[in-house]
Amino acid sequence: MEFDLSNVKDDILLVDKPAGWTSFDVVAKIRGMRKAALRAQGITPTKRQLKVGHAGTLDPFATGLLIILLGDATKRSDEFLKQDKVYEATIRLGQTSTTGDPEGEITDVNNRQPSQEEIEVALQKFMGEITQTPPAYSAIKIGGQRAYKLARKGQDVEIPSRQVTIYSIELLEYSYPELKIRTHVSSGTYIRSMAEDIGKVLTTGAYCSELRRMSIAKFRISAAETIG
């Protein structure tokens, strides 16, 4: 990692989360690095110095911008949670996933190949304020428990629909069975749900096979550091 954690007191770090890592994996990694850096200077870390948090999770399969908060900056997490975000996503047509992403059980639906014009018309249906139902496999709390924990136990999970806003949605590439989009969305928008809903509009089924967060409000992925 490029930045020097030993000298950071209360700050915001921008991290490019790799695929396969949970957001909490990144938090734990940085906390460990901070502890090691301070001890290397002969400093016994305090609890305050080892406070590390994040401002908005990314699914394990996803990559991209994760805002990490250190020390007293962890108290500012609410400032970032309700911000607009920009994502680039690859959506795979012809199949569905129990989780809406590559980690779920994949089921073939059909091999109908929509035209690019059909794709573009379908995407425009998602512009503006829309009603969206978050995935059962999400971190939303239902009766005090995370929805994904209930879903993994085989329990039926009913999550209320919500209003979200899609400010823009652009088709970047299309080569069946995959299409790639860039979308600017309000807080609370689930791209996995959007992918599934696009599949329903096209009658092909679909899931989000790749997801990358490009920005959160004014913070850009170009300013993020890699971690490994």
Which H helix or E strand runs over 33? helix 23-40
Tens digit of each residue's pLDDT (9 = 90 or more) over 54-64: 988 899 999 99
Residue 195's domain comprises: 85-216
Cis, peptide link before residue 177, omega less than 30° from 0: yes
Does 11 qualify as catalytic in the annotation? no
Tens digit of each residue's pLDDT (9 = 90 or more) over 168-220: 999 999 999 999 999 999 999 999 999 999 999 999 999 999 999 999 999 99
DSSP-assigned letter for residue 223: G
Q: Which one from 4, 11, 59, 84 is the annotated catalytic residue?
A: 59
Structural domain contains residue 227: no
- State the pLDDT at residue 1: 44
The answer, yes or no, to whether residue 2 has pLDDT greater than 80, is no
Residues 51 and 112 in one domain: no
Tens digit of each residue's pLDDT (9 = 90 or more) over 119-128: 999 999 999 9
Question: pLDDT confidence of 74, banded at 50, 70, 90?
Answer: confident
Among the listed residues 50, 60, 54, the one whose alpha carbon sits nearest the alpha carbon of residue 12 = 54
DSSP-assigned letter for residue 134: P
Percent of the chain with pLDDT over 90: 64
Tens digit of each residue's pLDDT (9 = 90 or more) over 129-142: 999 988 766 666 66
Residues 77 and 121 in one domain: no
Domain boundary pick from 81, 99, 131: 81
Total of domains in the chain: 2
Q: Coil, strand or helix: which one is 181?
A: strand
